[in-house]
Amino acid sequence: MIHQLVSIKGLELVAKVRAFCMELPEVEEKVDGFGHITFRVKDKPFVMMGEKDGQPSTAIKTNLTTQEFLLQQEGTPYHKTPYIGQHGWVSIPDTDKVPWKEIEDLIMEGYARTAPKKLLSQLQATRK
């Protein structure tokens, strides 16, 4: 069972993810009923974070093709997220094993899969 982030490593990771997510249009941070920190757009989560035995874990919404690609890599640091993996969610139990740029790209994909088209075009306009 994954619980709230309390370790120094977990708090540092959530600060890094927060800094990235909060740059995206209309993102809100909420703690869900399980104590996970979630980043949402229009109240739909695209990143969820928790911790087990002092090890932070990050789950990101991807599409099923991306999920399958990530899970099939040899020695992959990714896992299918319990309970919601069938919807394309991948978990990264140890983010030290994944380049930060790759995590940012996955967060962007999660946001793009979750946000309304209006917000995506707003985002693309500001990134040109």
Query: What are the residues whose beta carbons fall under 8 Å from the beta carbon of 116, sequence distance 6 or more?
Result: 41, 42
Which residue in 25, 32, 27 sits closest to 4, CA to CA? 32
Structural domains of the chain, with CATH: 8-117 (3.90.1150.30)
> Residue 122's pLDDT band (boundaries 50, 70, 90)?
confident
Core vs surface per residue 72-110: b (16+ CB within 10 A) or e: eeeeebbbbbeeebeebbbbbeebeebeeeebeebbbbb
pLDDT in tens, 63-114: 999 999 999 999 999 999 999 999 999 999 999 999 999 999 999 999 999 9
Q: How far apart are CA 103 and CA 106, in angstroms?
A: 5
pLDDT of residue 6: 86
Q: What is the pTM of this model?
A: 0.93
Collapsing DSSP states into helix, strand and coil, what is residue 17?
helix
Tell me: the pLDDT tens digits for 20-76? 999 999 999 999 988 899 999 999 999 999 998 888 999 999 999 999 999 999 999
Rounded Cα–Cα distance for residues 19 and 15 (Å): 6
Sheet (strand 89-92) strand order: 27-31, 37-41, 44-52, 55-61, 89-92, 79-80
- Does pLDDT of 126 surpass 80? no
- Assess contact for 38 and 32: CB atoms under 8 A: yes
